[in-house]
Amino acid sequence: VPRTRHHPARTEPTEVGALLRAIDAYTGSYVTIAALRLAALTLLRSSEIRLAVWDEISDDIWVVPAERIKVGAAAHTVPLSRQAQAIISDLRAKNGDDRFVLPGRHSRPLSENGPNTALAAMGYKGLHTIHGFRTTAVTLLGELGFPRNVVDLQLDHKEENQVRAAY
């Protein structure tokens, strides 16, 4: 039986706006800030973002390889918005010689705890996690009338019934 885990998330539009403004105002590591912004824009899982390498990203597409996907057996292709492309372009200019898109210390990827620690420092401990952007999207896009199958494609949800229960 798959283990489901609750990831706190802001789901009211005014709360989401406040969260995004808090991220913009955060003065921590630019790599951590970029990870949080990319999570909000791409809806990828934390590990898919943190472990990204440059070969996965072209100008407007991010292809997460199958071996790094939680559920799937196939790669997950994510179209990149202009905002996400700008963040990635900035990261490439600053870290293009590093293997990882979001480098941590000592040639390693960004720490697993980095984004959630930053959210806690912003006052969101227990209220929102990096994974919570996925829950935010499911809730708000559903309320806006987006077809669930389209949202599921963006989230790379494969087993609809089991995954839906987690959100």
Q: What are the catalytic residues?
A: 45, 70, 131, 134, 157, 167
Separation CA 86–CA 149 (nearest Å)? 28
Written as six digits, the tokens of 131 are: 């994974």
Distances (CA, A) of 125 to 114, 119, 162: 13, 6, 27
Q: Give whole-number Cα distances, 71 to 14, 24, 34, 114, 160, in Å.
A: 32, 31, 25, 24, 11
Report helix, strand and coil shares of the chain as percent, to nearest 5: 50, 10, 40
What sign has the CA pseudo-torsion 138, 85, 77, 51? negative
